Amino acid sequence: MARITAGITSSHVPAIGAAVDLGNTQDDYWKPAFAGFDWTKEWIMKPENKPDVVILVYNDHASAFDMNLIPTFAIGCADEFQPADEGWGPRPVPVVKNHADLAWHIAQSCILDEFDMTIINKMDVDHGLTVPLSLMFGQPDAWPCKIIPLAVNVVTYPPPSGNRCYNLGKAIRDAVESFPEDLKVQVWGTGGMSHQLQGTRAGLINAEWDKKFLDDLTANPERLRKMPHIEYLREAGSEGIELVMWLIMRGALGKDVRELHRHYHVAASNTALGHIVLEPTE
């Protein structure tokens, strides 16, 4: 039986990907941001922790979807996905290899569980997905596990609620645990933390709010799942709404979790960088 063994969250700032690709991770500006992932990079490659599959929750940045097509939840079910060209050529990262059988199983299970998933068989994946992979796995010739892309609309209003995302995580857990193959599965939530890219509040970062969010992700997810959109916008900026994607990860882990590692750094480009590693205790 497949099982969910851990949950990871990370910001997916595009400038982080550029720093990796250009070899700038040890520059004075970037070094403290990347140092917080050293623990995870070592932990995740230990045989007892290394995932067979990562379900990677991210948002597309007009690479695969635009105003003509805005799925709330879209799961990639093809065998592989190419890195997207976001205007300056695709990132020099490996092709994403999917566990298509598990992806189709999750799609079926979640749809029958009354989540209206969009099934995607052709899409390129942008920095929202590839930057977290680079942070955890570095620059390998091939990603060391299969990756199921799960895109969430947090760009065009209305995005899903935190509660809907949390419940989707629970449905994903049920789906994984009903899959007969013996697999170690991790769920990653990406995006955030507080940041705003436009308007009079451009550059907003709210470290106090971010750190409380990290605390409650472990200890009080019930508060987070009930948080309205307006609080994300007011306290974490217009792009802070990406944090609802972290609740899919948290819902997939079950009620009780153990926090293994945390990293918070301000600022990475114009964003508060957040990262946490959790494991279920049930």
Residues labelled catalytic: 127, 195
Any residues with CB less than 8 A from the CB of 117 and at least 6 apart, and which? Answer: 73, 74, 75, 107, 110, 111
For the CA atoms of 78, 165, 265, 28, the dihedral, rounded to the nearest 10 degrees, stands at 20
Q: Which two tokens stand for residue 164?
A: 């809907």
Judged by DSSP in three states, 29 sits in coil
Closest C-alpha to 46, from 135, 129, 144, 146: 144
Name the pairing type of β-strands 146-152 and 53-58: parallel
Q: Which two tokens stand for residue 257?
A: 């979790």
Strand order in the sheet with 53-58: 118-120, 73-76, 146-152, 53-58, 184-190, 3-10, 271-280, 257-268
Sole residue written with tokens 């990756």: 147
Cα-trace Rg, the chain:
17
Q: Where are the beta strands (DSSP E) in the chain?
A: 3-10, 53-58, 73-76, 80-81, 96-97, 118-120, 146-152, 184-190, 257-268, 271-280
Closest C-alpha to 13, from 94, 125, 127, 139: 127
Closest C-alpha to 124, from 71, 157, 171, 76: 76
